[in-house]
């Protein structure tokens, strides 16, 4: 009915961050790929197996200090259906370890097609009398360009299955303004999208005042982040762009409310490739991720 | 470098249509699912196998009269990685049979993540020294809400690998206007998105005058369809909403230029579920799809 499970995890761990699991092969220590390839029947199966080993080790190293992970679908699709199997197994493993899983798919469509995406990532798929989970995330990122027809099917599943969505509002990339900053009357497009999030979530508000419909708002636009925090009091923010894309702890402070909640800040490469930057033994990649996650936690909570 | 391969197929078959392969289990004849389930190790594998049998029979029945198919990712993701394997095998099979394959994923992201989607659906994935195709489509539908950062990585792959994209401009659903019809100055959002398509495609224009960057424009808004045809002379249209969603042959005529090209009209359920509407023997589902595809061809070409 809301994003409360995520918020509870953030409060318990005093850590409003999520680790993006975006595992390109080039991010992996060489030995991991080599080991996975040795017994693989084909290259994509080997690659997918290496990605799974990488993710599992990261989840093991992070699950007691970080409340959530955000696997990015593109990096799994790139390795074919074998990569999608790794996505599926990564989601299960993270949930077993008590982490909240935001599947970053930015999915969008309408009607029965959107119902299919909702079933795939948040709900159940019927096969005969059996109801099965396909990817089984806790939340899914979505794109609202198609309007309510694309969001309503998700709201039904969110309510029924205690799941959440994050709608793209103001993205972190340099060209996000080409459409998102254009004015409709005296309001930029992203603000209108933000107001739609408030409406979509209006009847699924949880105990912290936030609904099941969150918004993606980039760390790279601190002014818009603060402004949107004020304008969208019931909309929880997923904030990409920390670290690799340039935003820091001070820059994201405006995403939080006066109680220090209201947002979860993502870092992907900054954490999962920390071993490369640190220059440590590649066998310690998960340890380096943990050290960087703790540094990020400090950087963000200090600035609240 | 363009959508010329698609356009050539349309001209050769005198058929500007594409069949949407959106195979929910409930669309399949019962016997097909039963047969697939008999030897399946688990329900999702059985379901995915049934979908593949359905798709293959449809492709066999349509490949000499219909130039293209458009599998919708959501219906494959719903059946997990097993479903994604069926997507992969469906794309291969359709291409073997000479059909142009538009993967309908409405993918969107930025930078290296969008590169990953481009590799997954249009290009190649590197595993060590090996370059592999993951899903191997000819074109991919995409959502342009994130601006050029989300489109540029696709343009690189389109140029290098002779592939195409279709950007959502004006979608066919009732609520598409919530954002897409809102005015920026005196132009609706969808027109601005259409102009961006013209820009993105400007240096990849093929022999028919159309670029590698097409647009999705719904059949349910005939006025906007005609207007956009005039305003976007180098942008080829993918037109959903024919049939099940209400648009007919007259309604889509405005999508075509004076040479009778410029668009490909999609029908999904109208074709693949034709056997249900026709009430024929379910074993003849592919025959019914062929009869309906021929009727649709006539309905559209008569109105050009």
Q: Which residues pair with A70 in a beta bridge?
A: A20
Q: In CATH, what number is assigned to the domain containing residue B66?
A: 3.20.20.70
Close Cβ partners of A8 (under 8 Å, ≥ 6 residues apart): none
Smallest Cα distance from B38 to chain A, Å: 13
User: What is the ipTM for the molecules in this complex?
Assistant: 0.97
Smallest Cα distance from A167 to chain B, Å: 11
Span B68-96, average pLDDT: 98
pLDDT of A243 over the 90 cut: no
* Confidence grade of residue A115 (pLDDT, cut at 50, 70, 90): very high
- Which of B25, B113, B179 lies at the smallest CB-CB distance from A193? B179
Cβ(A116)–Cβ(A80) below 8 Å:
no
* Identified catalytic residue from B106, B159, B160, B231: B106
Work out the percent of chain B whose per-residue pLDDT is above 90: 92
Window B:83-102, CB contacts with A under 8 Å = 83-85, 87-88
The pLDDT assigned to B248 comes to: 82
Q: Is the pTM of this model over 0.90?
A: yes
The pLDDT assigned to A91 comes to: 98
The pLDDT assigned to B1 comes to: 64
pLDDT, one tens digit per residue, over A199-216 is 999 999 999 999 999 999
The pLDDT assigned to A247 comes to: 63
CA atoms within 13 A on the CB side of A297: 19
Asked if A200 has any chain B CB less than 8 Å from its own CB, the reply is no
* Confidence grade of residue A39 (pLDDT, cut at 50, 70, 90): confident
pLDDT of A244 over the 60 cut: no
pLDDT, one tens digit per residue, over A226-239 is 999 999 999 999 99
Residue B106 annotated among the catalytic residues of the structure? yes
* Confidence grade of residue B226 (pLDDT, cut at 50, 70, 90): very high
A67 vs A99: CA distance, rounded Å: 5
* Confidence grade of residue B244 (pLDDT, cut at 50, 70, 90): low
**Which residue does chain B place closest to A79, by CA atoms?**
B134
Mean pLDDT computed over every residue of chain A: 96
Determine which of A20, A41, A81, A191 to mutate to test the interface with B (most B C-beta atoms within 10 Å): A81
Close Cβ partners of B82 (under 8 Å, ≥ 6 residues apart): A81, B44, B45, B47, B48
Span A101-108, average pLDDT: 98
B292 vs B273: CA distance, rounded Å: 10
Span B272-296, average pLDDT: 97
Close Cβ partners of B196 (under 8 Å, ≥ 6 residues apart): A178, A179, B144, B147, B148, B151, B167
Determine which of B78, B88, B141, B147 to mutate to test the interface with A (most A C-beta atoms within 10 Å): B78
Please give the C-alpha separations between residue A291 and each of A270, A272, A278, A298, B41, in angstroms, as whole numbers: 11, 11, 10, 11, 43
The pLDDT assigned to B288 comes to: 98
Of chain A, the end-to-end C-alpha distance in Å amounts to 27
Cβ(A287)–Cβ(A261) below 8 Å:
no
Close Cβ partners of A167 (under 8 Å, ≥ 6 residues apart): A141, A142, A143, A144, A151, A193, A196, A197, A200, A213, A214, A215, A216
* Confidence grade of residue B2 (pLDDT, cut at 50, 70, 90): confident
Span A46-63, average pLDDT: 98
- Which of B84, B109, B174 lies at the smallest CB-CB distance from A81? B84
Q: What's the number of domains chain B is made of?
A: 1
Chain A residues lying within 8 Å of B119, measured CB to CB = 78
Classified as helix, coil or strand, B212 is coil
* Confidence grade of residue A248 (pLDDT, cut at 50, 70, 90): confident
Asked if B126 has any chain A CB less than 8 Å from its own CB, the reply is yes
Number of residue pairs across A and B with CB atoms under 8 Å?
221
- Which of B112, B113, B134 lies at the smallest CB-CB distance from A80? B134
Q: Which residues pair with A68 in a beta bridge?
A: A18, A100
pLDDT of A187 over the 70 cut: yes
Q: Counting beta carbons within 10 angstroms of the beta carbon of residue B291, is it exposed (0 to 12), middle (13 to 18) or buried (19 or more)?
A: middle
pLDDT of B245 over the 70 cut: no
* B266 phi/psi in degrees, rounded to 5: -95, 140
A62 vs B195: CA distance, rounded Å: 45
Q: Which residues pair with B3 in a beta bridge?
A: none
Token pair belonging to A205: 């508000």
A304 vs B231: CA distance, rounded Å: 50
Domain that holds residue A165: 4-302
Smallest Cα distance from B40 to chain A, Å: 12
Q: Which of A234, A237, A236, A233 is nearest to A219 (CA)?
A: A237
- Which of A44, A116, A189 lies at the smallest CB-CB distance from B75? A116
Work out the percent of chain B whose per-residue pLDDT is above 70: 98
* Confidence grade of residue B246 (pLDDT, cut at 50, 70, 90): low
Contact flag A47-B111 (C-beta cutoff 8 Å) = no
A261 vs A247: CA distance, rounded Å: 18
Window B:159-178, CB contacts with A under 8 Å = 168, 171-178
Give the DSSP H/E element, type plus range, for residue A20.
strand A17-21
Token pair belonging to A162: 């205690």
pLDDT of B225 over the 70 cut: yes
Span B209-236, average pLDDT: 95
């Amino acid at each position: 009915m809301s994003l409360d499970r995520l918020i509870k995890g953030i409060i318990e761990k005093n850590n409003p961050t999520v680790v993006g699991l975006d595992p390109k092969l080039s991010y992996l220590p060489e030995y991991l790929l080599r080991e996975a390839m040795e017994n693989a029947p084909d290259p994509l199966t080997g690659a997918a197996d290496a990605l799974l080993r990488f993710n599992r080790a990261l989840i093991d190293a992070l699950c007691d200090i970080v409340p959530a992970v955000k696997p990015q679908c593109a990096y799994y699709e790139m390795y074919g259906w074998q990569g999608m199997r790794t996505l599926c197994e990564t989601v299960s493993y993270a949930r077993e370890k008590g982490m909240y899983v935001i599947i970053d798919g930015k999915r969008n469509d309408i009607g029965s097609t959107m119902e299919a995406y909702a079933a795939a990532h948040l709900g159940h798929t019927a096969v005969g009398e059996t109801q099965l989970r396909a990817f089984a995330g806790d939340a899914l990122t979505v794109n609202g360009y198609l309007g309510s027809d694309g969001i309503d099917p998700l709201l039904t599943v969110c309510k029924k299955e205690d799941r959440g969505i994050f709608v793209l509002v103001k993205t972190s990339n340099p060209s996000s303004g080409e459409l998102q900053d254009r004015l409709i009357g005296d309001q930029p497009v992203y603000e209108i999208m933000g107001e739609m999030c408030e409406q979509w979530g209006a009847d699924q508000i949880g105990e912290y005042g936030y609904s099941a419909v969150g918004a993606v708002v980039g760390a790279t636009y601190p002014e818009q982040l603060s402004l949107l925090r004020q304008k969208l009091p019931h909309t929880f923010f997923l904030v990409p762009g920390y670290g690799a894309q340039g935003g820091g702890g001070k820059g994201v402070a405006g995403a939080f409310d006066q109680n220090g909640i209201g947002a979860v800040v993502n870092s992907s490469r900054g954490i999962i490739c920390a071993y490369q930057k640190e220059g440590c033994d590649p066998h310690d990649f998960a340890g380096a991720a943990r050290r960087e996650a703790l540094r990020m936690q400090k950087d963000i909570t200090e600035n609240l």
